[in-house]
Amino acid sequence: EDDTRLFCLRTKTDDYEIDILDISSDETKTINNDYNANTIKYIYFSQDCKIGETEIDQYSCRKFTSNSIEVKNTSDKVLRVFLISR
């Protein structure tokens, strides 16, 4: 077994977009809310991480309402961030 995980997004409509960002272990990246013109945005985190001082659990999904966030990968694996919007 290679510890592979599969992420699948199924929606009733086809107006959703997915962008992907990889963050290496112990690395921090800024994600800006204006990365696209869509107004409804969610973020799915594939590993444990932190946004500021808030700890985010692996496989969490959060609504993206801030202008920007600093995401720090606190796991020992690459954090794949799925940016889901419509």
Residue 68 has pLDDT above 90, yes or no: yes
Quote the tokens at residue 52: 């500021």
Cβ contact 28:71 at 8 Å = yes
Confidence tier at 29 by pLDDT (50, 70, 90): very high
- In the chain, what percentage of residues exceed pLDDT 90? 79
**Higher model confidence: residue 39 or residue 11?**
39
pLDDT average, residue stretch 42-49:
96
Residue 5 has pLDDT above 80, yes or no: no
Confidence tier at 12 by pLDDT (50, 70, 90): confident
The phi and psi torsions of 34 (rounded to 5 degrees) equal -90, 25
Cβ contact 18:82 at 8 Å = yes
